[in-house]
Amino acid sequence: MKLWGGRFTKPTNQLVDEYTASISFDQKMWRQDIVGSLAHVAMLGKCGILPMDEVKQIIAGLKKVKEKIERGQVTFQLAHEDVHMNIEKMLIEEIGPVGGKLHTGRSRNDQVALDMHLYLREQMMEIIQLSMYLQRALTDKASQHLDTVMPGYTHLQRAQPVLFGYHLMAYVSMLQRDIERLQEAWRRVNVLPLGAGALAGTTFPIDREFVADMLQFDGIYINSMDAVSDRDFIVEFLSSSALLMAHLSRLCEELVIWSSQEFAFIELDDAFCTGSSIMPQKKNPDVAELVRGKTGRVYGNLFSLLTVLKGLPLAYNKDMQEDKEGMFDTVKTLHGALSLLTPMIETMTVNKQRMRQTVTEDFSNATDLADYLVTKGLPFRQAHEVVGKAVLACIEQKKYLLDLTLEEFQAFSPLIEGDVYQALDVETVVNARNVMGGTARQQVEKQIAAYREAMGKTETWIAEHSQKVMIESLIDVGSPL
């Protein structure tokens, strides 16, 4: 008999049980479910809704259920549908009918919402930390390459020379926005839905503030209908995750390109590459490719949930069971990608000579020749035309700008003097961009310092919040009673 089966005259069809059950995936939240129940029953005792001796029995029973699950002594049953009913059934088997009083004043609707809030706020904390670790790895690598010059690209065509460290710091900037988005979304995750009941609250004189305080929530849902039907907090997480994965995918795309023989800018450590079953010489950047590939599933998880929610009437609907698998999958995908990319960046080697070679065999200093002419008094649009003709002549003669003699330069413009060679030198070109956001070494050092400070603030934020919300730190909630 189902725990809710009192008004039914026959058991559910086996196919219905299999189709509607969520225990195969929501069992992942068993710790959160037990913690929520511990807080709930403690509140029932504090408010006099249940006598304290029964409260203590239930708390002790929940602790025993927890220990049995940890020891692998129990099996979650499909017949009990979900993690909530499975744990309640285990509790009743452990302490008898009094275990059935645990559900007083709550519904599975607010219970499952609580579990997801508890689960997601902890996982988001870890993802923020892992993102910061990747930031640090990129920043450390950038600080090692403040003199390494590489081509900067637009349209995947060489555009202007930049420092390799400068290029890496662009990804640090992206990750900073990702971290800030997750921190902002975390505020709306850390809101208590428990106490909303099925949709309209409860007739029992519960104390939601007490539960919020026990579970370290910063706020409480004001409207109970909203509390049980809201999945915005998951959508925000999935949206932030999709952007984060987009940034990781762009980084991985460049790692794949840079590690090719055609570019040969970097070499990834053997520990993060694989080989070919037929071609002995191959060293494939599979990890980077797979991170790039898994980005699609994170996008899919976001659009899947948005589609589920778009036409739902208030309040709870069974459709909302589809909110969990995509959330779990996104958490797993991000954990894997971030955990692998950090040591990949730390251990990759950089071919400084190859990078420098490329910027001496192109026309990426052409803009600087135009700027040089501007400093000599020529309007930029005219300077642009002069340099364009000089580049065309060089292409026809199979040479580069710095290969031209002064006489050849002056054939294009008499304003060009002997100092042009210094102006077009690679180091000069890079360090001439000494403005905020520029690629000059001095500016990259400022960027590194600014983001190291930002990472320090992230570490402080994590320290201030993580000790309160990690599920293991809450497992003894209610014990003082």
What are the catalytic residues? 155, 276
What gap in Å lies between CA 385 and CA 447, rounded to an integer? 35
Task: Count other Cβ atoms within 10 Å, centred on residue 313.
Answer: 6
Q: What are phi and psi of 49, to 5 degrees?
A: -75, -35
β-strands 157-163, 149-154 pairing? antiparallel
DSSP reduced 3-state for 350: strand
What gap in Å lies between CA 196 and CA 221, rounded to an integer? 8
Structure tokens at 131: 């993102």
Residue whose structure tokens are 């995509």: 326
Structure tokens at 40: 């709930």
Q: What are phi and psi of 50, to 5 degrees?
A: -120, 145
Question: Cβ(133)–Cβ(341) under 8 Å?
Answer: no
Q: If we measure between CA atoms, which residue out of 403, 385, 345, 367 comes closest to residue 152?
A: 367
SS3 content of the chain, % helix, strand, coil (to 5): 65, 5, 30
DSSP reduced 3-state for 376: coil
What gap in Å lies between CA 166 and CA 150, rounded to an integer? 10
Burial label for 346, CB within 10 Å (0-12, 13-18, 19+), is middle
C-alpha dihedral, 87 to 91 to 93 to 99, nearest 10°: -130
Give one DSSP letter per residue of 122-175, joined into a string. HHHHHHHHHHHHHHHHHHHHHHTTSS-EEEEEETTEEEEEEEHHHHHHHHHHHH
* Residues facing residue 205 across a β-bridge: none
Question: Cβ(74)–Cβ(90) under 8 Å?
Answer: yes
